[in-house]
Structure 1
Amino acid sequence: MRRKRAPRGSGEQLREEILDATTELLLETGHAKEVSIRSVAQRVGVTPPSIYLHFADKDALLDAVCARYFEKLDEEMQQAAVGQPSTVDVLREQGLAYVRFAMKTPELYRIATMGEGRPGSDVEVALNSSAFLHMRGAVEGLIREGVFPAGDPTAAAMEMWSVAHGVAALVVSKPYLPWGDVEAFADRVLAAACLGHIVVDMVDLDAPAHEAITWLKGRLSVDGTTDEQQRG
């Protein structure tokens, strides 16, 4: 049905209706290639030229949909930090919030993060402000507290984001693999990454692996001796 002519000054409302319709079609079809400007226009009840008054092309429309999608991620990552007993817990919960978010709407997550990115696009800006900035803030706190070794917080935040995205992307693209409890799986991986940052400066990374393992076991022993020494 043709949409009634909107009153003057209601362009922002139409823009939101276009974004809502595009989101619905993406969720229904599961693929960006199945969504066209014409199908969006039909869903809203306007002509295709009306869409182009708000978005230059389909890529711009999809960018806007994904950017709005990641604004919700920003809220969830902020909430994840509330009430946590330590900054390490904040970082782990932020990573879990990211994975949960992807699992809620896997189609949108796939389109937003696993397609061809464009530097400077709305979705890149939204992702940087939601996921990256929150994780970097937690990493900066851990460095100040002396929990993480001194260094570039940007690099460490990128590594933690890579871990969260890696889990999210695999779960979304290959849900049939034997993940077990996905949230528990994600938490173990995130915990391992956090602990790795904590101990990385304590170990000589150029030493043979068995020497580093023996040293770490010794540090973890209650009385400071290695397992081999305890058995002897």
Structure 2
Amino acid sequence: MTPTHRPRSPRGSGAALRAEILDATAELLARTGHSGAVSIREVSTLVGVSAPSIYRHFADKDELIEAVVARAFEDLSGAMHAAGDPALSAMSRLREQGLAYVRYALEHPAQYRVATAPAAEGGAVDRVLTSGAFQLFATTVRECMDEGTMTPGDPTPIVLELWAAAHGIASLLIAKPFLPWGEVEATANRVLAAACVGRAVLDLIGDAPEPDEITDWLDRLRRAPPAP
């Protein structure tokens, strides 16, 4: 990569340079596909500054990658917030937020892989429970409880289950794009709808029912006379 020389930054432009460094790191992540292929030297070359200029903002590469991931979580949260139509029911908004999550992952696959990869305890990469995306999911689950579509209680286990569904389909669509998924949006929609509705049904049947119990419940539902 040919070094790019840039003029000396004016005083007070540190925030702008920091943003450029984060943009360059995100670009390298997208280009290489994993954090191991990103180096401070490559970032400095892409931005057009010396490596010491990078170290004025970030102690090391790990801190730089964590900052990129933290920003990705902020962007993810923003995308999910934008998808929530207040005119919809809480259950519908939960599905729409899940779809926004999947779309973001597909549009930013490298950052998403790094954000969801195993990390040292306490690192920004693993601060899932305090992320805006998690908190938004939790708020909407509480609203489902208020509407009566989910049993009132601690929303955290439910959010983790729904997160697992969104992460699962997003990761598979990224890792195995050539499988016969059909229309991607429709596939993700079915998976997330099944997760949302399935959780509500489990609340009606009982926690962790056996498959035969679910079959019996469905049979009784089919045989029930239609409501007048």
Residue 33 of structure 2 aligns with an amino acid whose one-letter code is G
CA shift, 1:131, in A, is 1.9
Q: Assess if the C-alpha contact under 8 Å between 2:142 and 2:152 holds in 1.
A: no
Q: 1:67 aligns with which of 66, 70, 73?
A: 70
> What pairs with 1:136-215 in structure 2 (closer than 5 Å)?
136-204=138-206, 209-215=211-217
Q: TM-score, normalised by structure 2?
A: 0.89
- Report the AA paired with residue 138 of structure 2: R
Name the residue aligned to 1:216: 218
CA apart distance, 1:126: 6.9
What is the letter of the counterpart of residue 215 of structure 2? I
Task: Quote how far apart the aligned CAs of 1:206 are.
Answer: 7.3
Distance in 1, matches of 2:62 and 2:129, equals 17
Q: Which of 178-187 and 157-166 deviates more? A: 178-187
In structure 2, the CA distance between the partners of 1:222 and 1:183, relative to structure 1 (3 Å rule), is: farther
1:71 and 1:130 in contact (8 A); partners too: yes
Determine whether 1:20 maps to 2:23.
Answer: yes
Answer whether contact 1:95 1:164 (CA < 8 A) is retained.
yes
Which one is further off, 1-10 or 158-167? 1-10
List structure 1 segments (4+ residues) > 6 angstroms apart after TM superposition: none
Deviations 1:164-194 (A, max 9, x none): 0111111112212221112211111111111
* Distance apart, 1:221 and its partner CA: 4.7
**Distance (whole Å) between structure 1 residues aligned to residue 112 and residue 169 of structure 2:** 12
- Looking at structure 1, the residues matched to 204 and 133 of structure 2 have their Cα atoms a distance apart, in angstroms, of 28
SS of alignment partner, residue 56 of structure 1: coil
- For residue 153 of structure 1, report the CA deviation from its aligned partner: 0.8
- Sequence identity (%): 49
Counterpart of 1:39 in structure 2 is 42
**Is 2:84 aligned against 1:81?**
yes
What do you get for the CA RMSD once the two structures are aligned?
Answer: 2.2
Q: Does the aligned pair in 1 maintain the 2:98–2:166 contact within 8 Å?
A: yes
Residue in structure 1 matched with residue 53 of structure 2 by the alignment: 50
Aligned residue for 1:46, secondary structure, equals coil
**Distance in 1 separating the partners of 2:209 and 2:56:** 62
Counterpart in 2 of 1:229? Answer: none
Which has the higher Rg, Structure 1 or Structure 2? 1
